[in-house]
Structure 1
Amino acid sequence: MKLLETIVDELLDAERNQYSVAPLTERFAGLNVLDAYQIQLEVIDRKKAEGRDVIGKKVGLTSVAMQQMLGVDEPDYGHLLDDMKIADGETVKISEFISPKVEAEIGFILEKDLVGPGGTYIDVLMATKYVVPTIEIIDSRIADWKIKLVDTVADNGSSARVVVGNKYSTVDCLDLRSLGMALHKNEELVATGSGAAALGHPAQAVAWLANKLHEFGIHLKAGELILPGALSAAVAVTEGDTISANFGPLGTVSVIFE
């Protein structure tokens, strides 16, 4: 337990002071995924004790390609806190990050609690109040993004910020599985994708999350924002970049880095 506390201290300090640390999996051979989730939960508890509020959750590693790259057969998750939320079109300072990247995702805002196990994507759709276009800004406290599953889980799923669009839609007017997305950096198209990239259907990824959280005595709560996973590969950003994501009928969302 002392080792886990030491890692918590290290990750918190690295985030606050914008520096990276060597991969945990290279330094602590016995560290497993359960340990990593315990580290993540302790990091979140520490932040909550400082006055932060949990506003939602995010799912990562929802694509087969990413799972194969890290040698895993299931996604992972992280927490979203109130100080991570950014309004559509806002400017953020690149100095607040270590090695940021962006991903476009279909955000779910829940109207009802979702409690696992046994939840299905139909349960998710019935519990959803709105879907909204989002850009997740991911960042890794692990040096050079040399992450394995244990590294990213301990590091809160490599979360950093979430940019939330202004258009709120109900799920009954959209085919989320086939919904397309075009991601632009400085007006240049850099990635495309569809809702099916997130475990075949973004609501399926949210169902996975609800069921996974049950293992830790946690459930998804009404009002929370849930990110079900990226619709394309992550795109690196630097100072001066403008990022925009167009989801067609779902709307657009953008962020500027300075």
Structure 2
Amino acid sequence: MLIDLHTHSTASDGTDSPAALMRAAAGAGLDVVALTDHDTVAGHAEALAALPRGLTLVTGTEFSCRMDGIGLHLLGYLYDPDEPELARERQLVRDDRVPRAQAMVARLRELGVDITWERVRELAQGVVGRPHIAAAMVEAGVIGSVSDAFAPEWIGDDGRAHVGKHELDVFTAIRLIKAAGGVSVFAHPAAAHRGAVVPLPAIAELAAAGLDGIEVDHMDHDPATRAALRALAGDLRLLPTGSSDYHGERKTIRLGEHTTAPEVYEELVDRASGGAPVTG
């Protein structure tokens, strides 16, 4: 049973439409896939309508959060998307995306980078995020790859052209996801190349606050890091998940390249009361 619990579509910063992503997941041999676009549920209806026979969809969201001044991502699964307080916070983050991206483009232009807001918006074909700015920079020949943009010289955290965004306090996010009947998992907690990370001992505070799991098997974690995270998950009684964090053509990772164990998935589903997986 192949289970991939972290993917993105054009509803945020992926390159596959939600429908195309479902077809790709089935083609990759997945049994279960979670659609976890950034700070939105906008792709869920299309994904459900296009769900191939035999493929199970887990609805979710990757929430932008902050802890002690450090940005992090929290995966919320199978929560009630209509829960008012969580929906309001999700919208605040979404509403901040356009002015934030426009401000970063302006800063880059001040640094001599010849990109335009109009081109960034065209590349996004929907919700704009940093990867679309990075794609415009690649197109302009400023950098060699999208990942190069996330260095301190450019739009990485604390970078020269970086602009902060509205983010949920992580303890508030855990509480709201749980109140909406969902399950929360700390995404790629040790992805240090993205910027500062939450110290591993601090994850105990999140577990005490109701965190359900941590993403262990991820492309940004080397074998030693995965071993340390798996041990930590055992010590804290957290669910150790695995996933591709698929973004389509924007990243080289393939669907199902990292997966979640069936028994972990079953426990995750058992803990959720705000929604249930749907099988085509």
TM-score range, shorter chain: under 0.3
Higher relative strand content: 1
State the structure with more CA Rg.
2
Higher relative helix content: 2
